[in-house]
Structure 1
Amino acid sequence: MKYPEAMQAIATEKALSFLGLTARKNGSYLNFPCIDCGNESAIRYYGERKNVAYCSTCKAGTNIIAMAVKLKGIDFQEAKKLLVEKTATTEETIQEKLSLKYELEFTIDMEKEGLSKELCDTVGVGRPKGKTMLSGCIAFTIHNETGLKVAYYGIRISDRRPKFHQSFNPELYLFAYHVADKNEEVLVTTDMFSCLRHLAQGEQAICNFGLPYLSSRQMELLSPFPYITFEWLFTDKKDIMLNVAQNLKAYHRFV
């Protein structure tokens, strides 16, 4: 795999963890301790400059592969191959129906989000009963574009952080996409609960699982819609607006 392809394929957060570095999200970047000085550094985890890092203390740039060279004591080609093998994001969608079935209950936390029990029962959203991987989460039933149930996606009640099985890659799906009429206008939001509120009002709405970007696969899924409204709840909209303008032919607007 060539260098540009490898840089896009390597999952940044997974790669940092593989290299023994603790990271936290900060907008479109991940902050982590610089491997040279130990102070906070930042690395982009999506877009054209994905996996490019910079340390303001060292005033020097690097990238995830060069970091692996230093930390693992191997050459560049070996480091590139290792990171791709160990941390690359899968591009294969799930092909088999999920056999797991949670018993989902409507809770006061969901009511506080302005949701109704009727809607949540219809779309398959609720807190799983019993001890499960998504205990303490609101679980969303996920379908692929043909309507096949493929996963559960959780949002922790305590801090609203996402939680899901490693076999599910949110970059390859859009929540509620399978019920949307591709010939009509659709609203795309970055907030799962907001998506449900729009659906409750009879609007067409889908969600990108809170990612601060749209993956190439998500762009492909959006291409049939003639009109798209983006409810982008991140402060920095410059990159996404440019990406949409370059890759989608549909009339679109940001609100």
Structure 2
Amino acid sequence: MVPARPSLNVIDIVTSTFSVYWRGLFYFLPAILLFTVAFEAVSAEISGVIARSLTPTIWLNLALSFGEAMVNLLYGLCVQALVVLPAIHLFRDGRIGVLRSTRRLLLLLAPMVALCLIIPVVTMLGFILLFVPGVIISLMLFVAMPVLLDEQVGLRAIPRSMNLTRDYRWALLGLSILTTLIVFILAFLASFIMTPGALWLDSLEIGNPAIRGLLRVSVTAFGLAIIAPVGGISAAIAYVRLKEIKEGGASETLRKVFE
């Protein structure tokens, strides 16, 4: 008789995600805020240059829409790279280890950048092919970034992620849907901070357009920084849980979290 396959408890992962989020908030919020301000400022500048340089056409609008989707995927992966390793350390050991995480990020910068470029491209191509292949690809690569940063295997993180997620992609789809709904709720709550902040900035008489633009980007970045870590933390915890299910060796900290 074939033994029953252990389940991936989605509710426990979501609960643990917000436990880790809350305990690591002092790291996640400033790190994501600084990165988001820089990312938004560069994106706005590039968009402005494109808008001023090219004549609007249907094909240009389609290309810009595709580019915007790619940029959003890239942003999500970059944020995931920033939060995954601290989340794993906090989840396993009860502490973040900022210096250890930063050193690992710098050492793995080249494969991390490569992964951040590969995943959006293959995922978007999958979405173009009737949407469903994009969903499948995103689930297959759900834990690629945690694998890369935790196991330091370079681009072998891609087949490793495919192996870890095999037999659990329906559960990961449920996890993705649930965390997306929660993020939408958080985004709605964050809008109560962002909208008054934007209106307040509009009421100020700031003559320098660069400073005014930077302040507006900062308000938007603060709202994004509140919600952006959720996806990366949930991927990190799903990775730890999948590794435990498939390879065993759960730590005492891990067992306590899921009790």
TM-score range relative to shorter protein:
under 0.3
Which has a greater percent of helix?
Answer: 2
Kindly indicate which of the two structures has a greater share of residues assigned to strand: 1
Give TM-score, length-normalised by structure 2: 0.23
